[in-house]
Amino acid sequence: MRQLKFAGRLLGTGIAFACIFFGGGVLAVTLLPILAILPGHREERARRAIHHAFRVYIATLQLLNLIKLRTSGLDRLDHASGRIVVANHPSLLDVVLLMSVISNAQCIIKHQLWNHRFLGPLMRAAGYIRNDLPPEEMIATCQDALDRGNCLIIFPEGTRSVPGEKRHFQRGFANLATITHTPVQPVTITCDPPTLTKGEKWWHLPPRTPLFTVAVGDCLDADIYAKYEYRSLAARKLVQALEAHYAEQF
């Protein structure tokens, strides 16, 4: 019976991964032409559509017992506007989880996704931000997204973390927060047992259904660090504050 259940989870996980990549292509073909002719801001409509698609996707994963999900503090995101949402990055599923609970999410994506055969059209239609933009253009683009009331999702580790290793946060989010005077909203994601970690193949499933926990913490005011004379020092202090926050969570 255990082997049968594991085989069912393996099959369901394979289908779920196929849905992520090919589903983006289907949405681009079926939904984008409709969004293009509707009144209003096309990119915002595309981002909302992706948000709702991911809500359905996560609900389906739970229904099929591929994951379990526990959340806390989501009310802090209900009316969040113009914030930098930072999160640790234990799993490949993290960005999908965050975008499913943040209705006005804006993302900085790898440039490879921008040109991806299936996902590229959707990424471009949603107006997501490429990670290979020149620094000044990157800051201006992020500032515009925040001014529009979007929440910018950033993983300060830069890549998925390795279980058991100490987390090191890059300063990019802190530089952006101090330059744009934007509040930082920390989100803690845990997965027990670990799955879809860095370097792990999708078919390397844990022995039981993983439990994902998404906990939204108190917002950090980036302007508190404006008292420091040098922005580099302000950014470093903000990174240290965030690292201390996550050290308390684990």
Q: Residue 1: which pLDDT band, with cuts at 50, 70 and 90?
A: low
Residues 24-36 have a mean pLDDT of: 74
Residues 200-221 have a mean pLDDT of: 92
In 3D, which of 41, 152, 46, 48 has the Cα closest to residue 106? 152
Q: Report pTM.
A: 0.91
CATH number at residue 214: 3.40.1130
Q: Are strands 184-192 and 211-216 parallel, antiparallel or unpaired?
A: antiparallel
Residues 105-112 have a mean pLDDT of: 90
Q: Residue 231: which pLDDT band, with cuts at 50, 70 and 90?
A: confident
| Mean per-residue pLDDT of the chain | 88
Does the structure show a pLDDT above 90 at 17? no
pLDDT of residue 78: 81
CB-CB contact of 101 with 214 (8 Å): yes
Characterize 62-100 residue by residue with b for buried, 16 or more Cβ atoms within 10 angstroms of its Cβ, and e for exposed.
eebebbebeeeeeeebeebebbbbbbbbbbbbbbbbbbb
pLDDT of residue 110: 86
Instruction: Please count the residues of the chain.
Output: 250
pLDDT of residue 247: 86
Chain segment 163-195, per-residue pLDDT in tens: 777 778 999 999 999 999 999 999 999 999 999
Does the structure show a pLDDT above 70 at 131? yes
Does the structure show a pLDDT above 90 at 117? no
185 is in which domain, residue-wise?
Answer: 2-249
Q: Are strands 84-87 and 151-154 parallel, antiparallel or unpaired?
A: parallel
Report CA torsion sign: 89, 91, 92, 93.
negative
Chain segment 54-94, per-residue pLDDT in tens: 999 999 999 999 999 999 999 998 888 999 999 999 999 99
CA distance 182 to 210: 34
Residues 234-244 have a mean pLDDT of: 92
Does the structure show a pLDDT above 80 at 240? yes
Q: DSSP letter at 68?
A: E
Number of compact structural domains in the chain: 1
CA distance 161 to 234: 25
Range of weakest confidence among 22-31, 53-62, 197-206, 238-247: 22-31
pLDDT of residue 168: 83
CA 131 to chain centre: 14
Does the structure show a pLDDT above 80 at 39? no
